[in-house]
Amino acid sequence: MLSDTQLLRYNRQILINDFDVDGQEKLRAGRVLVVGLGGLGCPAAMYLAVAGVGQLLLADGDVVELSNLQRQIAHTDADIGENKARSAAATLKLLNSETAIDVIDEHLDAATLSALVSRVDVVLDATDNYPIRFALNRACIAAGVPLVSAAAVRSEGQLSVFDPARGGPCYRCLYDESGDAGALSCSESGVLAPVVGTFGTLQAMEVLKLLSGYGEPLRGRLLVMDLRSMDIRTLTLAPRPGCPDCGQR
């Protein structure tokens, strides 16, 4: 049951007919793992906190650097040198003290990832690290947990929900682990601040949809957007036959 204060706080969401009190209560019961508190993870985690998600697990082993501040909006000058998950947790506490936050201030290996994924309802992939992305994909498939994944570079970004247990492909169906996908990184190619802000925010929206049952999550579809031209497309994705990660299902 939501308190009177909570009904007021979340009023603008509760007003939406097919979201309602029921959707808000589901957010309050929701547990989300956010991997990476950088350009995508900061806005994503901030929106999840203010929207009323009950529990957030924030994982990042890196520390805040000066060149992060252009786009990683949960961190400030005073946070330089601080662990990113701890820095983001402090910001989220100011935004909504009701959200329970666990900080994982270390780099994750496959065993740690599996243990974390088993504790949550949804995983939000906001990393720029391909080995971790593939490991996350495997951990999510094993636990049957949906993976909300985005990437952004220069003026472009893409977003999808990988949830083969409920239909559609997994991350590995799209991206070959042996490929040169690592070439696309912000540190090498650059990125405009609102581009990661847009995609982190869209990731938060997909998480809210998955937790509450509202709308249609981007399962089996890939949103591709170039903010330079505002060219927006949604591609339909099919599982890849023989995918080594989800193909044996």
Number of residues that bind Zn ion (CB under 5 A): 6
Q: Determine, following the binding rule CB under 5 A, whether residue 210 of this chain makes contact with Zn ion.
A: no
Q: Binding of Zn ion at residue 237 (CB under 5 A)?
A: no
Q: Counting contacts by CB under 5 A, is residue 57 touching Zn ion?
A: no
- Which is nearer to Zn ion, 13 or 158 (by Cβ)? 158
Measured from the CB atom, is 134 or 199 closer to Zn ion?
134
Q: Are strands 147-153 and 31-35 parallel, antiparallel or unpaired?
A: unpaired
* CA distance linking residue 73 with residue 38, whole number of Å: 8
**Contacting range for Zn ion; rule: CB under 5 A; set: 39-47, 127-135, 212-220, 237-245:** 237-245
Concatenating the DSSP letter of every residue in 16-53 gives STTTHHHHHHHHHH-EEEEE--STTHHHHHHHHHHHT-
Between 86 and 219, name the residue whose CB sits nearer to Zn ion. Answer: 219
Residue span binding Zn ion (CB under 5 A) among the ranges 2-10, 35-43, 164-172, 205-213:
164-172
Beta bridge partners of 152: 157
User: Do 159 and 149 meet the contact criterion of CB atoms below 8 Å apart?
Assistant: yes
Q: Which two tokens stand for residue 1?
A: 């049951």
Which residues, other chains included, contact 164 with Cβ-Cβ below 8 Å and sequence gap of 6+? 141, 170, 239, 246, 249
**161 part of the interface to Zn ion, by CB under 5 A:** no
Binds Zn ion by CB under 5 A, chosen from 49, 139, 148, 170? 170
DSSP conformation class of 115? H
Does 172 interact with Zn ion (rule: CB under 5 A)? yes
Contact between 173 and Zn ion by CB under 5 A: the answer reads: yes
Per rule CB under 5 A, is residue 246 in the interface with Zn ion? yes
| Contact stretch for Zn ion (CB under 5 A) within 4-12, 66-74, 109-117, 162-170 | 162-170
For Zn ion, the closer of residues 162 and 214 by Cβ is: 162
| Residue where the block lists tokens 């900061």 | 42
Give whichever of 156 and 245 is closer to Zn ion, judged by the CB atom.
245
14 binds Zn ion (CB under 5 A): no
Q: How far is the CB of 62 from Zn ion (least distance, A)?
A: 28
Phi-psi region of 209 (alpha: psi -120 to 50; beta: other; left: phi over 0): alpha
Query: In which element (H, E) is residue 99 found?
Result: none
157 vs 169 by CB, closer to Zn ion: 169
Please answer whether residues 88 and 64 qualify as being in contact, where contact means their C-beta atoms are separated by less than 8 angstroms.
no
Listed ranges 85-93, 120-128, 172-180, 223-231: which one lies at the site for Zn ion (CB under 5 A): 172-180
C-alpha 43/C-alpha 84 separation (Å) is: 13
Binding site for Zn ion (CB under 5 A): 170, 172-173, 243, 245-246
